[in-house]
Amino acid sequence: MEESAEQRSRPHGRTRAAGTRVLVVLACAAITLAGVFLLRDVIAPLAVALVIVVICSPASTALARRGWPRSIGVAAIVVLAYSVLLSMGALVWIAGVQFTRLLRDLSPGGDLAHAAGQLDGWVSGALGPPGADASGAGASGAAVSGLLRLVAGASSAAVGIAVALFLVCAYVVVMAVDAGRYQRASIVFGAGRAETIARIARLNSDIRRYYVVNTVFGAIVATIDGLALWWLGVPAPLLWAVLAFVTNFIPNIGFVIGLIPPAILALAVGGWPLLLGVVAVYCLVNVVLQVFVQPKFVSDAVGLSLTLSFFAVVFWTVIIGPVGALLAVPLTLLARDLLLGGRDDDTVWLRWVSGDRGAIPSSHEIARGSPRENIRRAGRRIPWNQHGIRRRPS
């Protein structure tokens, strides 16, 4: 009787121990995230550089397999990483040129001065005192002055952006050197760290596949949106195409962010018909591709549930700023591997809930095969007779 009572108390003890462990993990995570939030200006460039190096690291691996020296592989990573940064800089430059032209057109005497006056009139009507008059050149000048104040405020962050880019470039070099050394980890440690090395390799592969999927879909969406806006007559279609490409890397809500600026401009230029045309194009292209099609590919590529990927955008944006929206999925994958990297049933269950389809308890794994064969194999493990169910012989 004493042994049976002790056995009955063991599950409750394990439950309490598991609950205590969860509380400890959550407390440590909260402290860590608070530190990341305070150091976000330093950690954000580090995260960007890490993602870029992970994306470019297969070049070094391919060269190492062909017998090239490790220094050549490191140089290949640096060259590819800087090429990615230059491509990003080119997109920013194109967007900046288009934005400057748009400001010039919105200035008094420009081609879109009437649109500026109409926009300022709407804002004054919504926020200004009753009876305020906001028409003509005065309204146009007020709208442009507001835009210029916005540009002046953004220029104060230019120094911070320059410092962040310098840190990214420096991080890329040192991480590329370390990446060349880490490729020998499987040779140095052998089977002793095989599981950890496999997890890191799988994480890197998931990050690369995620950005490949987003780049392909982003190029498709940006091309279609840019051509459609040009055909509809919306000013600066190339600027909005670049914006659509960049916001494509923000899961689920990126298309809304990319829709708002051209929609407002379309309303000012062409009224409600043009606005409805822009919204119809974005709903047809962006909603179908980004909301229904792309998340399916992203979920299959990285093993994250749609709910978790959506929450990750908000969470990492709060923690490390706007860059967190672009790095939400990779950072979530890294956090999941750090917190849920074990193979016990509780950890595997949480990974499965988060969207990892490969998370299967070792005690209930089903051999790969046809669905009929898998069901038959799984049926053998169910104690049918305990429930009075008679299993048909196979």
The per-residue pLDDT of the chain, averaged, comes to 74
pLDDT band at 227 (very low <50, low <70, confident <90, very high): very high
The pLDDT tens digits for 310-324 are 888 889 988 988 888
User: Average pLDDT, stretch 128-140?
Assistant: 47
Q: Which residue type, as a one-letter code, is found at position 43? A: I
Cβ atoms within 10 A of the Cβ of 176, count?
Answer: 24
Residue 132 above 50 pLDDT?
A: no
With a pLDDT cut of 90, the percent of the chain lying above it is 2
Q: Give helix 294-302 / helix 194-232 axis angle, nearest 10°.
A: 170
What's the CA gap between 239 and 242, in Å, rounded?
5
Cα separation values, 385 from 83, 159, 207, 373, Å? 65, 73, 46, 21
- What's 284's DSSP letter? I
Between these two residues, 358 and 313, which has the higher pLDDT value? 313
Between these two residues, 15 and 133, which has the higher pLDDT value? 15
> What tokens appear for 150 in the block?
């916005």
Could you give the 3-state DSSP secondary structure of residue 344?
coil
The pLDDT tens digits for 41-88 are 888 889 999 999 999 888 888 888 888 888 888 888 889 989 988 888
User: Average pLDDT, stretch 366-379?
Assistant: 47
Residue 157 above 70 pLDDT?
A: no
User: Average pLDDT, stretch 171-189?
Assistant: 82
Question: Can you spell out the DSSP letters for 100-130?
Answer: HHHHHHHSTTSTTHHHHHHHHHHHHHHHSPT
> What tokens appear for 375 in the block?
């069901």
User: Average pLDDT, stretch 115-128?
Assistant: 54
What's the CA gap between 306 and 298, in Å, rounded?
9
Cα separation values, 254 from 71, 87, 238, 245, 331, Å? 39, 20, 17, 9, 18
Residue 298 above 70 pLDDT?
A: no
Q: Which of 61-75, 133-147, 168-182, 292-306 has the lowest mean pLDDT?
A: 133-147
Cβ atoms within 10 A of the Cβ of 321, count?
Answer: 14
Q: Give helix 158-182 / helix 70-106 axis angle, nearest 10°.
A: 160
User: Average pLDDT, stretch 258-270?
Assistant: 83
What's the CA gap between 27 and 114, in Å, rounded?
56
User: Average pLDDT, stretch 196-217?
Assistant: 85
Query: Sign of the C-alpha dihedral, residues 35, 37, 38, 39?
Result: positive
What's the CA gap between 271 and 108, in Å, rounded?
20
With a pLDDT cut of 70, the percent of the chain lying above it is 67
User: Average pLDDT, stretch 97-112?
Assistant: 66
Q: Which of 220-234, 240-254, 299-313 has the lowest mean pLDDT?
A: 299-313
Between these two residues, 138 and 49, which has the higher pLDDT value? 49
Q: Which residue type, as a one-letter code, is found at position 202? A: R
Q: Which of 207-216, 344-353, 371-380 has the lowest mean pLDDT?
A: 371-380
pLDDT value at residue 384: 42
pLDDT value at residue 359: 67
